[in-house]
Amino acid sequence: MMGIWKRHTGIYKEIAKVDECIRLALKSNQQVLASAVNDLLSAGGKRIRPAMVLLSGGFGINNNEEKLIPLAAAIEIMHMATLVHDDIIDQSDLRRGRPTVRNRWGNQIAVFTGDFLLVRAFSLITQSVSQDHMHALANTIKVICEGEIDQFQSRFKKTFSELQYLKRIARKTAVLFALSCQVGAMESQCDVDTVRNLKKFGYNFGMAFQITDDLLDLGGDPELAGKPLGSDFREGIYTLPVIYTIAHPLYKAQIEKFIGRDDLTDYDVLKVGRLVKESGSLEKSRNLALRYLERCHESLRRLPDKPEKDALRELLEETISRKY
């Protein structure tokens, strides 16, 4: 997560505690499982979700670090589990520029690793979250699973709308960001309005974050993305820039030649990247991401003036500056 918070560096100390909590929670005497988990941990990550838990907790009257650190760790472990399972379904060989668990250990070990992560996450949650808030956590996992299945079933479909895409990324990505803010606020006894505004902030941030990620998949730097360019398109996952290009009267026929195919070459993927750029679909998608980020600013304006508010604003600035 280096470089995200430029002025609020205190968050790094808290995230270091979260990382230590994650390491302790994921210890295993089973050698292969321990190695697979160590691979995941060494790959790093921005730790945005646990940071949101901690920052949201800062708005409450009972900012209890002993409760928030395990909760933040649990949410990050849940996120790690979804990535491991994602890589199995997508047959991905790279994640964050490193071999995936399935690539190194096979699908069977990857399935067990993902399951292990989920169990350890829920173990932490039961120790740190009140019973009243357990339902929100369980429901979020359910929604994420439904979103993943929806994405898998919609692969290579030649007709896929903007609304369907937005619903998909809401379930796949935005709900976990929303949950991160919501539980951090609730467990710190924030008032109802603050909880609601933080949850909205997390949701809209998640929407913007995923749209931006999808821009990077087709128009970004593969070195920065940590995976080959056009990975989603190759897997038949058609993201917003592709949907906009299909809807463009001058580019529809050109891009449809590549839709629904599982035999694409590197040249084909480069051609698709050029089409979505020339059609203005990358810029149109980015403008939608910016609209979601403006909703985040609206939520921030309704929050109490605290240092955590400025830190969340920095996070928005970092998201806007991501290049494609």
Residues 75-127: tens digit of each pLDDT: 999 999 999 988 888 888 888 778 889 999 899 999 999 999 999 998 998 88
CATH fourth-level superfamily of 10-311: Farnesyl Diphosphate Synthase (1.10.600.10)
Measured in whole angstroms, how far is the alpha carbon of residue 27 from the centre of its chain?
Answer: 24
Measured in whole angstroms, how far is the alpha carbon of residue 15 from the centre of its chain?
Answer: 17
Segment (H or E) for 13: helix 10-25
Q: CB count, 10 Å around CB of 109?
A: 17
User: pLDDT for 208-236, tens place per residue?
Assistant: 999 999 998 887 666 655 567 788 999 99
Q: How far apart are CA 121 and CA 183, in angstroms?
A: 14
Whole-angstrom Cα Rg for the chain: 20
- What does the pLDDT average to over 34-54? 90
93's tokens:
């060989």
Q: Please check the confidence at residue 324 and state whether its pLDDT lies above 60.
A: no
Beta partners for 95? 98
Query: In degrees, to the nearest 5, what angle opens at C-alpha 52 toward C-alphas 101 and 121?
Result: 45
Distances (CA, A) of 210 to 165, 173, 192, 281: 11, 7, 27, 16
Measured in whole angstroms, how far is the alpha carbon of residue 271 from the centre of its chain?
Answer: 27
Q: Quickly tell me which residue has 């020339």 as its tokens.
A: 278
Q: CB–CB of 320/297 below 8 Å?
A: no
